[in-house]
């Protein structure tokens, strides 16, 4: 991997903000491949900055003093894209009043960035494949073979393998372009970078229009960090500029942000089950399942601890056969989306039935007699009480910092505020 000093220099030069490891990995790969003439396929959602990466590759290569052109394949009509890329002869089609050089001819020796490569028509794909393999191409309406020396960097926000399966993209072209793939993380995969980017956009706006930069409070920051950002960096920049213009005060609250962009309240959490739970708050169910998982995990660890204790100290059991099931590895269901409530209940019921065997463990006679004299304490099975205790523990662990507690519990800070008020918890 390229050293951090080089990566930081690249970030400063191209105005890239972020410290996420996935972003640094993508930049490192771009710098390394820039020294070669290999084709590159940049993959990432719309708005993540694919064109910036193409410029980094070109300007760090030996072709940096030669032309660079970026072409959006989805924005060129299918009837004219061949002419745009490869040129045409006079009279080759209606409106061709003279010969024209295409981009592959005019950018000879340089780099062509083909954005939205998945939108390229199939016939154009075959022409592009020939250029990549031999450097040869034909103008539209001509039989003369021309040569070019162009490096191709392609980009897509689609799954090209799915398009191959549906017959809309050539498999041989995919592997030719995908010599060195670079995957750029989406903004929701860069949670730690969201506030850094937002502040940068706000400062840039204030410097441009000579105004005081706005600030956001803690709750507004949580709102930004937990939004899914389908438009990625473009969407975040738009919000920063809108807020700078529309906000009447320098410190912006969460309510102010929601007033400007109501979509910030939308959450895209994985659904446990949509059938039969309409109207319920899934965040509450997540807490309950988390409580149950933690209880079952603790129980499994307790069983393993007791077995280890018995084996190390050469202790005895009333019935060895009854204890065999306690040594079985506990398996947790990986996905609740396909589970019914009944199957989830059976999962935890099986665990509780096995728990009865714990009462048959005999460590020695003294402990047996002592245990018989100890009063039995019935553990509460109330889900609400367990939920309340879990929230208290999280708040205690993080010394009352609700943002950190909410992250620990896997819920939004807004839901945590409501739960604290509901259970009258003093943080």
Q: Are 288 and 388 in contact (CB under 8 A)?
A: no
Percent of the chain with pLDDT over 90: 54
Mean pLDDT, rounded, of the chain: 81
Instruction: Give domain status of residue 285, yes or no.
Output: no
| pLDDT at 6 > cutoff 50 | yes
Instruction: Give domain status of residue 394, yes or no.
Output: yes
Q: By residue range, what is the domain housing residue 134?
A: 4-185
| pLDDT at 283 > cutoff 90 | no
Let me know whether 146 and 118 are in one domain: yes
Per-residue pLDDT, 316: 61
Let me know whether 16 and 128 are in one domain: yes
Tell me the pLDDT band of 382, cut-offs 50, 70 and 90: low
Which residue among 247, 265, 283 closes a domain?
265
CA atoms of 424 and 34, how far apart (whole Å): 59
CA atoms of 159 and 204, how far apart (whole Å): 34
| pLDDT at 149 > cutoff 80 | yes
Let me know whether 325 and 349 are in one domain: yes
pLDDT tens-digit series, residues 13-50: 999 999 899 999 999 999 999 999 999 999 999 999 99
Phi, psi at residue 154, to the nearest 5°? -110, 160
Per-residue pLDDT, 278: 41
Arithmetic mean of pLDDT, 294-319? 70
- Structure-derived torsion over alpha carbons of residues 347, 348, 349, 351, reported in degrees to the nearest 10: 100
Read off the CATH number of the domain in which 107 is found: 3.40.50.300
Instruction: Give domain status of residue 280, yes or no.
Output: no
The token duo for 359 is 């009462």
| pLDDT at 375 > cutoff 90 | no
Per-residue pLDDT, 345: 55
Q: Are 260 and 246 in contact (CB under 8 A)?
A: yes
**β-strand pairing of 145-147 with 136-138:** antiparallel
Instruction: Give domain status of residue 165, yes or no.
Output: yes
Let me know whether 9 and 137 are in one domain: yes
Percent of the chain with pLDDT over 70: 76
pLDDT tens-digit series, residues 165-222: 999 999 999 999 999 999 999 999 999 999 999 999 999 999 999 999 999 999 999 9
Let me know whether 168 and 204 are in one domain: no
CA atoms of 198 and 236, how far apart (whole Å): 7
Which residue among 185, 208, 228 closes a domain?
185
Let me know whether 56 and 197 are in one domain: no
Let me know whether 192 and 179 are in one domain: no
Q: Are 103 and 84 in contact (CB under 8 A)?
A: yes
CA-wise closest residue to 150 among 114, 118, 115? 114
Instruction: Give domain status of residue 292, yes or no.
Output: no
């Amino acid at each position: 991997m390229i050293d951090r000093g080089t990566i930081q220099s690249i970030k400063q030069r191209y105005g890239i903000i972020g410290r996420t490891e996935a972003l640094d990995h993508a930049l490192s790969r771009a710098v390394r491949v820039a020294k070669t003439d290999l084709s590159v396929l940049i993959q990432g959602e719309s708005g993540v900055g694919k064109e910036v990466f193409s410029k980094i590759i070109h300007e760090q290569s030996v072709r940096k003093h030669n032309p660079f052109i970026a072409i959006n394949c989805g924005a060129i009509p299918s009837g004219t894209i061949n002419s745009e890329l490869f040129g045409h002869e006079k009279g080759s089609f209606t409106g061709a009043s003279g010969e024209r050089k295409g981009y592959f001819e005019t950018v000879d020796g340089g780099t062509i960035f083909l954005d939205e490569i998945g939108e390229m028509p199939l016939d154009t794909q075959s022409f592009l494949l020939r250029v990549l393999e031999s450097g040869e191409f034909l103008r539209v309406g001509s039989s003369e073979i021309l040569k070019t020396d162009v490096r191709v960097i392609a980009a897509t926000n689609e799954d090209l393998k799915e398009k191959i399966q549906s017959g809309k993209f050539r498999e041989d072209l995919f592997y030719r372009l995908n010599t060195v793939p670079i995957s750029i993380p989406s903004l929701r995969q860069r949670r730690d970078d969201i506030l850094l980017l937002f502040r940068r956009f706000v400062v840039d706006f204030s410097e441009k229009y000579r105004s005081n930069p706005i600030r956001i409070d803690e709750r507004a920051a949580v709102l930004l960090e937990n939004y899914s950002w389908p438009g990625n960096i473009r969407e975040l920049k738009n919000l920063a500029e809108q807020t700078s213009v529309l906000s009447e005060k320098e410190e912006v609250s969460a309510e102010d942000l929601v007033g400007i962009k109501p979509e910030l309240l939308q959450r895209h959490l994985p659904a446990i089950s949509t059938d039969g739970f309409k109207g319920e708050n899934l965040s509450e169910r997540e807490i309950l399942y988390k409580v149950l998982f933690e209880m079952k995990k603790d129980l499994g660890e307790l069983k393993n601890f007791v077995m280890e204790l018995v084996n190390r100290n050469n202790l005895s059991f009333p019935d060895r056969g009854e204890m065999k099931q306690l040594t079985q590895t506990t398996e947790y269901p990986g996905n609740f989306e396909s589970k019914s409530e009944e199957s989830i209940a059976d999962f935890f019921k099986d665990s509780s039935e096995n728990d009865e065997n714990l009462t048959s463990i005999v460590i020695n006679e003294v402990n047996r007699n002592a245990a018989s004299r100890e009063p039995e304490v019935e553990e509460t099975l109330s889900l609400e009480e367990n939920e309340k205790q879990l929230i208290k523990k999280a708040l205690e662990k993080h010394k009352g910092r609700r943002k950190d507690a909410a992250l620990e519990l896997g819920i939004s800070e807004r839901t945590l505020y409501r739960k604290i008020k509901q259970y009258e918890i003093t943080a």
